[in-house]
Amino acid sequence: MTFLNVEEYRRKARRLLPRFVFDYLDGGSEDEVALKENRRAFEAIKMTPRLLNNVSVRDQSVEWFGQRLPMPIVIAPTGLNGLYRRDGDILLARAASRLGIPFTLSTASNNSIEDVAKASNGDLWFQLYVMNRDFADQLVDRALAADFSHLVLTVDVAMGGKRERDERNNFVMPFRFRPRTIADILCHPRWLWDVGRHGAPSMANLATDMVTDPNTQAALLSRKMDASFDWDDLKRLRDRWPRRLLVKGLLHPDDAKRAIALGVDAVVVSNHGGRQLDIAPAPIDALPRFSIVNAPIIVDSGIRRGSDIVKAISLGASAVMIGRAALFGLAVGGEQGVVEVIEFLRREIDRTQALLGTRELVRPTSGAFLPDARGALGAD
């Protein structure tokens, strides 16, 4: 089957995955207002082309702390990727390496920090959830020893969002399968052969002899975050980690300015893909307010087209993180499926540039496109 866009990969993934797995991948919190708004916000933005420019050669590469990324894309941290394909984290990392873009490994991964580092020679970032202070320090030290280049601290998880699809499917850690779930699994033989026959994937970063206290293990497996983590703790983390540090999950520019003042190198404007606070704004709507932040900005949540990425760069982002779109490709085609999805986005970026009349990705400082009061983009 030939796919034409990310949405067609999504539809195929829905057919291939058991319902509880697809709902975990695709769902949001509560009424899924934020999840839907992430897409509506991108779709509301328009861009006016400036024509009769020579666009025979186009460049979508971007600078990131002295290096050039071939496209403004980072693969986002996502948990439990072994549910979509066996060794899903390794497959994502290898795909990113082939594409020349960074891959961000989640604390809640099914392949360990060390195994992913051994399996990929690409640029690896590590995303940190702080559930237990001592264990978080251990994870940071392991990521440094494995030569991960960036640490991405996620801060929008003082507690887990109310994900009603998961509750309805009884999707909890550790897994408990009901008869209805087992029947659903049996109706998806390809998934059962690739993933299900090996048993429920474990959180490999948490499977360590260093975690010996039963209460700590239970908290880690249920991903109960440390709600007391504050600015002083961020400063302590900054002192511990000697490489690039990002804070992910910010939606207010004042929080970003404070993080940068503490030594954070960049921030990720994100509402966790609509999976946490259902009344949160769409990150692409919040992005223009971050023009006051003197640091690189990444944005995520809701990106499905290359034109979405062009819009994000035009509104001030240095790059974007791709989460669900890459996972749809992983579920359908493994490593190659991830490559194909990102290549879709790359080609769509290129086509959008040509039709807009710009040879390079346009930043707000260029004066070519500026956000208006509605967040749309018009010609200057």
Q: Which residue has the tokens 């039709």?
A: 355
Whole-number Å distance between alpha carbons of 151 and 131: 16
Residue 88's Cα: distance from chain center in Å?
Answer: 14
Residue 272 a catalytic site member: yes
Please, which contacts does 333-340 make with residues 24 or more away whose CB atoms are closer than 8 Å? 334/85, 334/91, 335/91, 335/92, 335/94, 335/95, 335/98, 336/95, 337/9, 338/75, 338/91, 338/92, 338/95, 338/96, 339/95, 339/98, 339/99, 340/3
Helix, strand, coil percentages, rounded to 5, for the chain: 45, 15, 40
Phi–psi pair at 46, nearest 5 degrees: -115, 155
Instruction: Tell me which DSSP letter residue 85 carries.
Output: S
DSSP states of 254-273 as a string?
A: HHHHHHHHTT--EEEE--GG
Joined together, the tokens standing for residue 108 give 């809640």
Instruction: Identify any residues that bridge with 128 across adjacent strands, giving them in sequence order.
Output: 153
Joined together, the tokens standing for residue 61 give 């590469």
Which residue in 188, 198, 252, 272 is the catalytic one? 272
Would you say how long the chain is, in residues? 380
Whole-number Å distance between alpha carbons of 15 and 255: 41
Specify whether the CB–CB gap between 105 and 83 falls below 8 A: no
Q: Provide the 3-class DSSP secondary structure of residue 197.
A: helix
What is the DSSP pairing of strand 67-69 with strand 62-64?
Answer: antiparallel
Q: Which residues are catalytic?
A: 272
